[in-house]
Structure formats: structure tokens, C-alpha cells
Amino acid sequence: MEAVIAILATLLLATALVAAWLLRDRRAAHQRAQSAQHDADTLRAQLAAQDHAHTAYANQLEARLAERDKALRDAFSAAANDVLKSNEQQFLSIADQKLTHQLKPVADTLKELKDTSARIEKERHTSFGDLNAQLRAAHNATELLRKETGSLVNALRKPQVRGRYGEIQLRRVVELAGMRDYCDFDEQATTRDADGRALRPDCVVRLPNDRHIVIDAKNNTERYMEAFRAETPEQAEAHLKAFAKAVLEQARALAKKQYWREYKGSPDVVVMFIPGEQFIDAALQHEPELLEIAARHKVLIAGPASLIGLLRAVWVGWREKSISANIEHLLKLGQELHNRAAIMLQHMDKLGAAISTTAAQYNNLVGSVDRNLMPTLRKFEKSKVSSGKTLIEPKPRTVEPATSKHLPPPPTQPSLLDEP
């Protein structure tokens, strides 16, 4: 029991000692903490004072830097202004000189352009005056044309005038086709049929090999012109239908004349010439089978364009015949030339033989003169018996046959008679 009490007492003592030690250590730590806090407060105050001092110094330094920066800027600005003014004056002077030199062609061009513009303006006023005069002349011509057209329309209402107009147009077409120059047509040629009735076509075109084509001009356009003077479309349509029917009746009446029976070599057809493609178009619009019906009656309806094509084909036929006739004539001339050339070559051969004989006889004569006459003449000269003239020594002559170098050069262009 005592041992336990002793142990407990020992433990209590040890605990008290530990507690005392811990208490003392805690106090010491507290004191150290207070000392450290005091040191920290002191250091914080020192740092705050230093920071305030640094801030004040920085503000002073910034103010000084601002003053120096302002002073430097003012000084640089003044210097830059001086340099800029100097450079600007120098640059303006140089630029003015160069610009004046460079702009001189532009100034000259502008002056020329100004002069040209003035001249053009003057010409424009002149041209404007001329244009006004031309417009007045055109207006007068239009009025005159309107009056003449009205007169023509009134004149074409007469059958005789319409017929003459068709004949004039036919003659014009023949001239355009080139048939007039070759005289390949006869106007108003009159013949009679088996019953003695007079047949007078407007034109008979002669074909090669004694053949003919008969052309009869028809210009019954009164109904066509009435259609344009109609007041309503219905009236115009009625006039155009009547016009188409009249054209068909003219084709049938022309077929009854049977011109191909009265003209030798004529094909079984007659050409019905209408002096305007617009007339044919208008008739076809209301009689679509007009051309077929007329063809069945051996009548070919032709306008200026198609008739020109037909006549040009005839012209080509005449040209081919002319070429053929020229070829035949050329063949005869070639045969005659060949015969004459053969005779000439015979004479040339005889002449060549005679030249060879003459050359041989001449050479014999030269030999005889050299052997018999010249020695005696030289003796006279040695004896001072002479006329004073120099004696020419006769020389023999040689007739060489002709070679390529003696012949003329061949022709550069082949002959038409050369064989391929």
C-alpha cells in the first residue's frame, strides 16, 4: 500500500514538475511572442515610414521627370519646327521646280486640248448649222417623197401604168442579172398562135443551143393596195383574199396562152413575174397552194429575187458556151500554129545546113588565101609597096551546135497548153 502511495506521490510530483515546467515555458513563449509582436510592429512602422518616404521620393522623381520630359518635348518641338520649316521651304522649292518641269508637257497638252476643244466647239456649231440644214432638206425630201408616193399610188391604180411598172421592174431585174450586156432577151416580141391570135410576152430569154424561156410580167396589185387603205382589219383581209384569187386567175389565164408551143426549144413552162416579193407573200398567206396550182398549169411564179437566180443560171450557161467556143477556136489556132511551126522548122534545118556548107566553103577560101595570096602580099610590104593599110589575117570559122548555154531560159509560168 505504501509502495502504491509512494508511486502515486512520485507521479504527482512528476506531474507537478512537468506542469510547472510547461507553465514557465508557456510564459517564456508568451513573452517571446509579445517581444516578436513588438518587433513586428516596430518593423511595420519602419516599413510604413520607408514606404511613405519612397512614395514621396517617387512622386518627386515623377514630377522632375515630367518637367524634364516637357522641357525635352518643347525643345524637340522647337527644333523639329525649325527643321521642318527649313525642309518644307527647301522641299517646296525643289518640288515647285520639278513639278513645273514635269507639268510642262501636261500644261502644253492642256493648252492643245483647250485649242482643240475650241476648234471642235467651233466645228460643232458649224456642223449643227449644217445638220439643221440637212434636217430641213430631209424634211422637204420626205414631204416630196410623200407627195410622189401619193402620186405613184394614184398612178398605179391605172392598168396601163401598172403594166408599165411591171415591165420596168422586169427590165431592171434582167439588167441586175447581167443579161442585158449579153443581149440575151427580147422585150415585147410578138408572135401568133395556130389560130392567128397575137401572143406578145413581156420578155423572151434566149438560152444556149437555140432555146427560149418566156416571161410575162403581171402587176395587178390594185386589191393589194386597197387592203392598206382599208378602214377595218376585216376589209383589209377581204381585199387580200381577192388579191390572192386574182393572182391565181392570172396564172391560169397565162397557162392558156401556151407560149411554149410557139417558141422553138422552149421548155413546157412560162414564167409569171410579179414585181415584188411582198405581193407573192401576201398571196401565199391567203392561197397557200398558189405555187403548186400554178406549177400544175406549167406556170412558174417568180419575184425579183428568184428571177435573178434563174437569169444568172442562164448567164452561166451562156458563159460556159462562150468558153467552149473559145476552146474550139483555141484548138484550131493550136493546130494552125503547129503546122506553121513545122514548116518553119524545116526552113530552119535547111538554113542550118546551108550555114554549115557556107562555113566549110569559107574555111576553104581562107586556106587558099593564106597559101596563095598572103605570101605575095607580104612580099609587097617588104618591098615597101603597099597602100599603108594593115592586112587582116583571115581566120577560119567554126559553126558550133547550139547548147543549153546558148538557149534562152525556160518560161517561169507554165503554158496553158502544157500537159499535166
- What's the rounded Cα separation, in Å, for the pair 365 and 349? 24
For residues 393-410, average pLDDT:
67
Beta-bridged to residue 191, according to DSSP, are: 199
Q: Is the pLDDT of residue 88 over 70?
A: no
The pTM (predicted TM-score) of the whole model is 0.45
Q: Which of 35-39, 184-188, 407-411 has the highest mean pLDDT?
A: 35-39
Output the pLDDT for position 293: 93
pLDDT band at 299 (very low <50, low <70, confident <90, very high): very high
For residues 29-34, average pLDDT:
75
* 334-351 pLDDT per residue, tens: 787 888 888 888 888 888
* 117-176 pLDDT per residue, tens: 777 777 777 766 776 777 777 777 666 655 555 555 554 555 555 667 777 888 888 888
Let me know: does 184 contact 206? Beta carbons within 8 Å: yes
Output the pLDDT for position 36: 74
Say how many residues make up the chain.
420
Output the pLDDT for position 420: 39
- What's the rounded Cα separation, in Å, for the pair 270 and 259? 7
Q: What percent of the chain has pLDDT over 90?
A: 9
Run of H or E residues at 405: none
- What's the rounded Cα separation, in Å, for the pair 311 and 174? 7
Run of H or E residues at 401: none
Output the pLDDT for position 84: 57
Burial pattern 368-383, b for ≥16 Cβ within 10 A else e, equals eeeeeeeeeeeeeeee
For residues 309-329, average pLDDT:
84
Output the pLDDT for position 245: 93
Q: How many CB atoms within 10 Å of residue 265?
A: 13
Let me know: does 290 contact 247? Beta carbons within 8 Å: yes
* 241-296 pLDDT per residue, tens: 999 999 999 999 999 888 888 877 788 899 999 988 888 899 999 999 999 999 99
- What's the rounded Cα separation, in Å, for the pair 201 and 217? 8
Output the pLDDT for position 416: 45
